[in-house]
Amino acid sequence: MTAVLPAPRTAQAPSAGGPAGARPVRRRRRPVRALLRFTGRWTVRMLVCTAVLSFLGLAVGPRVADYRTMTMLTGSMAPTIDPGDVVVSTPLDVEDVEVGMVITYHIPIDDHRVVTHRVIEVDRTADGTVAVRTQGDANDAPDPWTAVLSGDTAYQVQAVVPEIGNVITLLRESVLSTLFVQLLPIGLGVWMLLAIWRPGREVDDADTHTATAARTEPPGATR
């Protein structure tokens, strides 16, 4: 008869940096710091995306697409269009201009500046000439001229982007222009390079915790 004796218990090897059987020390999580880091990261991304989209829409778009943009300087069309708003106008056949439309055109007097007003009267002649009377929504009287729309195309306002014209005017100031046109792109480039090259702290912490847990076994564990 052969007796079966229990196998001797193997002594637990002490873990690195602590006594035998000691559990790995977990780093204290900092949810507030992580939340601030996450919020800051996405805020910067949103600002960059907004700046890029605004630049493409206001500077590049009118050169490659069939529309125009113009900043409203006066309150003659308030509250429909306030000073500082940017209007987006698309081409329209002169023959299709109707009463009630808001169009952008050169006035026929003084400095021939560009205005954006509502059409209140349309006069078509036998030779195809189209003349309009306009008025600002906030003005008490019609404009003191009759404008003949030259060419075959007029421009009708299709959209209004609030307040962005004020931002554009502010950015044209010398100090801010230097900051945003020269220093800001450099700073964003450096920040993006650091974000790419620097390993994430969260990944390092997770890897360290996993490696420590793998090296440490609870008392009585068998292989």
Whether residue 186 is found in the same domain as residue 101: no
Q: How far apart are the first and last CA of the chain?
A: 29
Per the domain annotation, does 84 fall within a domain? yes
The CATH number covering residue 151 comes to: 2.10.109.10
In tens, the pLDDT along 140-159 reads 999 999 999 988 899 999 99
pLDDT of residue 118: 97
DSSP letter at 130?
Answer: E
Whether residue 106 is found in the same domain as residue 130: yes
- Structural domain range at position 180: 173-208
pLDDT of residue 22: 54
H/E stretch holding 120: strand 114-124
Per the domain annotation, does 5 fall within a domain? no
Whether residue 79 is found in the same domain as residue 105: yes
Whether residue 120 is found in the same domain as residue 148: yes
Name the nearest CA neighbour of 135 among 108, 102, 106.
102
- What span, in angstroms and rounded, lies between the C-alpha atoms of 223 and 221? 7
Per the domain annotation, does 218 fall within a domain? no
Whether residue 204 is found in the same domain as residue 143: no
Whether residue 147 is found in the same domain as residue 107: yes
| Cα angle, residue 166 at apex, residues 153 and 133 outer, rounded to 5° | 35
pLDDT of residue 213: 52
pLDDT of residue 2: 55
Name the nearest CA neighbour of 132 among 141, 120, 140.
120
pLDDT of residue 82: 92
pLDDT of residue 196: 75
pLDDT of residue 32: 80
Number of domains in the chain: 2
Whether residue 78 is found in the same domain as residue 147: yes
Whether residue 99 is found in the same domain as residue 181: no
Q: What is the mean pLDDT of each run of 10 residues along the chain (223 residues)?
A: 56 51 59 82 77 69 81 92 92 94 94 94 91 96 94 92 74 58 68 68 51 52 50
For the chain, the 3-state helix, strand and coil shares in percent, each to the nearest 5, are 40, 20, 40
pLDDT of residue 171: 60
Per the domain annotation, does 223 fall within a domain? no
pLDDT of residue 25: 55
Whether residue 157 is found in the same domain as residue 92: yes
Per the domain annotation, does 103 fall within a domain? yes
Q: Would the pTM of this model clear 0.75, i.e. be above it? A: no
Per the domain annotation, does 49 fall within a domain? no
pLDDT of residue 138: 95
Per the domain annotation, does 47 fall within a domain? no
Whether residue 105 is found in the same domain as residue 153: yes
Whether residue 193 is found in the same domain as residue 155: no
Asked which of 133, 163, 193 is the last residue of a domain, the reply is 163
Side-by-side strand order, sheet with 102-106: 68-71, 86-93, 153-161, 102-106, 114-124, 130-135, 147-148
Per the domain annotation, does 110 fall within a domain? yes
pLDDT of residue 26: 59
Q: Token pair of 158, please?
A: 């299709």
